[in-house]
Amino acid sequence: MADENAADNGRVATGIDGLDSVLDGGIPLGNQVVVAGGPGAGKTLLCLEIMYNNAKKGINSAYITLEEQESVVINNFKRAFPAFSDIDGLISSGALVIGGEDVATRIQIGSDSETYSFGNVISGIENIIRANNAKCVVIDSLSLIKLMFGSQSLYRKYMLALSLNLRKLGVNSFLTMELPYTNTSDMVFSPEFFIFDGTIVMYQNVEENKRVFSIEVVKMRGSKHSLSLAPYEITNKGFKVFSINEI
């Protein structure tokens, strides 16, 4: 990532209330972070809020959706966080880009006819990043790639290729990943947790008939981070992480 866009401490802040203190100030420059969680944990909204916060600071940010239509993503984002009044302005100025629908469509159509290779996926992602000079990037999610480009050994190879490419582009990236479980006690380490620089897991434990959200930084290369699970809430003004000051 370009130095002029770097935070003073060599990190990029997420801007999420409470999360940066869990991360000892933010994500180390250039890191690739898996954001994993069960359905409805808030992966998409969390990543959108990070892109929005960075775009507001003048760091061009791109959210690449491989699952939902771009218009649906934007509408859900606006509806969830009505306090974020300048989403349209950031999009029209080019600071915030919501893209990727064509890549997703071509993955789905192309893989049936076997004409759309994983190389095409990488170049589709690269084109969006380069066209917008994005320094912060989300890929939401890795699950479609896993579904379409399949076997375990090939998938690992593809993830390594994606990681190398994001490294070459010099961006900070967040890659969402669906987990088939929601509870802390069921945690399983999947290959993505080893390949990329960081792993953040969003859990939903049920306690006394109520779903309680908590977030954990499982790893973050090149950084100290909190070793505690931090509860979080999703509010009309964005995420709020209740961190314990113990790093």
Shortest distance in whole angstroms from residue 174 CB to Mg ion: 12
Pick the closer one to ligand ATP by CB: 45 or 64. Answer: 45
From 121, 178, 173, select the one nearest 148 (Cα to Cα).
Answer: 121
Q: Is 187 helix (H, G, I), strand (E, B) or coil?
A: coil
Distance between CA atoms of residues 60 and 111, nearest Å: 31
Shortest reach from residue 43's CB to Mg ion, in Å: 5
Taking the least distance from each CB to ligand ATP, the nearer of 40 and 191 is: 40
Q: Which does 110 bind (CB under 5 to 8 A by kind): ligand ATP, Mg ion, none?
A: none
Choices 4-12, 36-44, 192-200, 224-232; region in contact with ligand ATP by CB under 6 A: 36-44
CB neighbour list of residue 69: distance below 8 Å, 6 or more residues apart = 101
198 CB burial (10 A radius; 0-12, 13-18, 19+): buried
Binding to ligand ATP, residues 167-196 (CB under 6 A):
178
CB of residue 51 vs ligand ATP: minimum separation in angstroms? Answer: 13
Count the residues in the chain. 247
Residue 107: CB partners within 8 Å, gap ≥ 6? Answer: 66, 116, 121, 144, 145, 148
Stretch that binds ligand ATP, among 35-43, 58-66, 153-161, 189-197 (CB under 6 A): 35-43
CB–CB of 37/202 below 8 Å? yes
The Cα 35–Cα 44 span in angstroms is 9
DSSP string, 99-130: E-HHHHHHHHHHHHHT-S-HHHHHHHHHHHHH
Question: Rounded to the nearest whole angstrom, what is the least distance from the CB of residue 231 to Mg ion in the complex?
Answer: 20
User: Is the CB of 72 or the CB of 160 nearer to ligand ATP?
Assistant: 72
Q: Which residues bind Mg ion (CB under 5 A)?
A: 43-44
CB nearer to ligand ATP: pick between 29 and 73: 73
Residue 37 as a binder of ligand ATP (CB under 6 A): the answer is yes
Total residues interacting with ligand ATP, rule: CB under 6 A? 13
Q: Does residue 59 bind ligand ATP (CB under 6 A)?
A: no
Nearer to ligand ATP, 20 or 49 (CB): 49
Identity of residue 17: D
Q: Which is nearer to ligand ATP, 29 or 136 (CB)?
A: 136
> In 3D, which of 123, 80, 117, 118 has the Cα closest to residue 100?
123
Given candidates 10, 24, 40, 190, which one binds ligand ATP under the rule CB under 6 A? 40
> Least distance in Å: CB of 54 to ligand ATP?
17
Q: Which residues bind ligand ATP (CB under 6 A)?
A: 37, 39-45, 80, 178, 234-236
